[in-house]
Structure 1
Amino acid sequence: LCGKDLIATRHSMSEGDEIYAITDLDSKPFPVSLFMEGGPERFSSTDSIRPDYPVKQLTHENQHIYDQLDMGRVEGRWMKTTDGKQMLTWVIYPPKFDPNKKYPTLLFCEGGPQSPVSQFWSYRWNFQIMAANDYIIVAPNRRGLPGFGVEWNEAISGDYGGQCMKDYFTAIDEMAKEPFVDKDRLGCVGASFGGFSVYWLAGHHDKRFKAFIAHDGIFNMEMQYLETEEKWFANWDMGGAYWEKDNATAQRTFANSPHKFVDKWDTPILCIHGEKDYRILANQAMAAFDAAKMRGVPAELLIYPDENHWVLKPQNGVLWQRVFFEWLDRWLKK
């Protein structure tokens, strides 16, 4: 807070961080005062939370770059899921989108698993960079993401191969009905839980996709359970240990390990991982790559010896982008 203004950074799918001022805070009820005076327990659904304060952009650090670029249109769509719920799916179009053309299209699988597909900006997983390479991006807020109620968020725990996967299929199948989506050139990409999703979908997609990219994903859930440094989360989200034969939740979880469905793999896959990743060890990507090659499936492996669960070094990010689009273009544009 600064006087009557709230100073904050803001970003979106189309803009990196800039500094903004939210002004005239004393002119309307504002929830920050409630936090300051009594904490979040003071909130209720009847509190007056007004989003329409005047907002002033204070910095334009990257404007000279944005002025040289065309950004793709970002659209939110509500889709009916297989169990009758409404799911928000973001669609990002190429900058010079032509509805009379057919575009290769990517299903983006979010990580977390409990992290929202919301407004974010990165020099790796960047929807505008993907769209600028002439792809349509489909990014669903599948089951297991916050922002849509506790039930929606918790539905993924102990059910990694369940409704969340059906939600992915809903998103890509709905978009494939559009005349500008080339349903014969669909790709699927994701990191962390999104990487697990790619490995799982590779054994269940029924030939929907023509290319996969998995980054830092779980391939063998039994090994992941023993290897990860995040033991509490593994027990919480997987429902327990795989040797607990009378634990129905755990047994359902481990029965959906992607490595158990490799016999159905038939689609080119790129596996990316960092060797300093202690959440999901790099041997998961190495095993997935080996499995694909032994199955006769086209595959590539990109290992970063100096990266962890994220790719943080700028030059590594450049390599990431180069390999990412070389792989997609090879299978979706020829």
Structure 2
Amino acid sequence: MITEQAPGKLYIAGEYGVLEPDCPAILVAVNQFIRVSITKTNSAAGIIHSRQYSQDSIHWVRRGFKMVIDNRDNPFEYILAAISYTERFCLEQHVKMKLYDLHINSDLDSSDGKKYGLGSSAAVTVATVKAILRFYNVPFSNELVYKLSAISHYSVQGNGSAGDIAASVYGGWIAYQTFDKNWLKQELNHKTLSEVVSEAWPGLKIQLLTPPVGLNLMIGWSQQPASTSRLVDETNANKAALNGEYQQFIDFSRQCVLEMINGFENKDIHLIQKQIRVNRQLLRHFARINQIAIEIPRLSKLINIAESCGGAAKTSGAGNGDCGIVIADAQTDVTALEQEWRQNGIMPLDLHVHQSKIKQ
């Protein structure tokens, strides 16, 4: 049996802006994992099994008179896409295909199956790609795993930045900038997968960051799950109408995250905290002009409690539920913060930053 794992992720800053070229975000990998085990089978059919995902709901939308199934929240769609693209790559390396069983085990959801918002679809994609490459004895680097995973994930989701893929592959704290999606589509249409993953992807930047000594990341869960893909759909639909306001948001988001990266490079916790607060206000404005809910009341409560205890806080990811994050320092009253969170229905998550092994 071969087992590979991939960590979950959290966005620290730069959400929504990161969907655009040349607009960075900061993410962190956390020490909760999805594990994919693969074993050769001699039976007539292989199986894909997950204890957590077997009862997943199917979402659908109405398009005119048609009922359309939305599979973007179905983890099996990402697993199947990862298998398809990774095997296609292996075939191009003249690897003989085999039958196998896949078993998936996840820490990224609560015990009753509710999602924390830690990027389970990205993590299961990354872990599946790694497991299959290792099963077929195909050497791999972090870059190869990232690119195969990003292609697989994007084929299902159809939107997003693939920043969560980068966090699951590279681990730790990262500054991330997305690739040119139109370029990738064109390349995949007329080149082999092996050629595409060996190319430099225009716009893509992944930079490992080292946090200042004394920086403490705290995570609170609103206990209200959210759907990233549908929120991104809504904002994408509004881009043209918003025009100048949307571009202004992108410009301000870029400036904010670049300042925060400077905070990491100069070991300046206070600069990082300042930009966390700036980013929160940018996202609140973005929510208003798009008429979407990012900072729901439970998340506002989470943030206000953290700020009253000396931390710098904001929503994490697409918002509308899931988690909020706090950048705390030596002056933050962590005990009082967590106690007040619990009293207000917010669950502190005992998560820590996961550092992955670097594979060139």
| Same fold by TM-score greater than 0.5 | no
TM band (smaller chain): under 0.3
**Rg bigger for which structure?**
1
Q: Could you tell me the TM-score, scaled by structure 2's length?
A: 0.26
The answer to which structure has the higher helix fraction is 2
Higher relative contact order structure (alpha carbons within 8 Å, sequence separation ≥ 6): 2
